[in-house]
Amino acid sequence: MASPDPQRLSLNTATVRERWNLAQTIEGCARHGIRGISPWRDKLDELGAAQAARRIRAAGLTVTGLCRGGMFPARTAAGRRAAIADNRKAIEDAATIGAKCLVLVVGGLPQGSRDLAGAREQVKEGIAAILPHARQCGVPLAIEPLHPMYAADRACVNTLSQALDLCDALDPGKTGALGVAVDVYHVWWDPQLQAQIRRAGRKRILAYHICDWLVPTTDLLLDRGMMGDGVIDLKRIRGWVEGAGYRGFHEVEIFSARNWWRRDPDEVLATLKARHRRRS
């Protein structure tokens, strides 16, 4: 399979978050010829959305997403309203920086709850509540199914199938306002992956995130691998995503407390550029 276009590489700020602030990350992308960036909101808050937007634009970068909205379920109605308000703010910030989408990590079980079906219903209601504002602001919402090991505490949407069911229910016309973020780390294991990527199609794949699954994985959250260091067949999955019509960026998001977060970010960027070319 042909190597991917290096122009499609994007850096998620989480990959270098321990060493670089947003300004440094923007400069680093420019220095390494990486054309896309996807900030987390804590990084955006360092500069404020308006100034961040100016700097990103000045560096000529495409904002492939803003991480993240979501976290809808809550024990109380007030908690759920607060989540909606926070998501509206995230949508506005995403618009300010010209993000291709707002990534939604939808949230898990409310504190003390075991009602997974109920949490999933709250997620549906939450997305429905913010979708009109997202449309007005011109910010597509990308539901990111998270690996089932995060079902309790981060996201109770755990398969692409489930995310696409939400899209079908809330945006039956496929207007482009609602879609999915396909992160290989979360979905690589899914026996339905190929079929669901095809189902998603060009209109609903709003983002494509890459990294790798290490064997062994020593931490549920902070032990993701660099492309090529694990067991995910990245070329095969990219083939499926491109086969579905996706022509967007390949965003590298690596949480790695024991390895990549400890290294010089310039080394990390050089490595991920090479691995994107050869191993993705």
Residue type, 90: A
Phi and psi based region of residue 201 (left: phi greater than 0; alpha: psi -120 to 50; beta: remaining): left
Cβ of residue 123: shortest distance to a second copy, in angstroms? 11
Cβ of residue 50: shortest distance to a second copy, in angstroms? 36
How far apart CA 230 and CA 27 sit, in angstroms, is: 29
Q: Please count the other Cβ atoms lying within 10 Å of the Cβ belonging to residue 62.
A: 17
How far apart CA 256 and CA 67 sit, in angstroms, is: 17
Cβ of residue 130: shortest distance to a second copy, in angstroms? 22
Our CB check for a second copy shows the closer of 134 and 160 to be: 160
Our CB check for a second copy shows the closer of 60 and 191 to be: 191
Our CB check for a second copy shows the closer of 23 and 152 to be: 152
Tell me which residues touch a second copy (CB under 8 A): 109, 113-116, 120, 147-149, 151-153, 156, 158-159, 161-162, 188-191, 213, 215-218, 220, 230-233, 236
Cβ of residue 206: shortest distance to a second copy, in angstroms? 21
Our CB check for a second copy shows the closer of 36 and 225 to be: 225
- Note every long-range contact of 225-228, with CB atoms under 8 Å and residues 24 or more positions apart, other chains counting: 225/254, 225/256, 226/254, 226/256, 226/259, 226/260, 226/271, 226/272, 226/275, 227/252, 227/272, 227/275, 227/276, 227/279, 227/280, 228/275, 228/278, 228/279, 228/280
Our CB check for a second copy shows the closer of 72 and 213 to be: 213
Cβ of residue 37: shortest distance to a second copy, in angstroms? 29
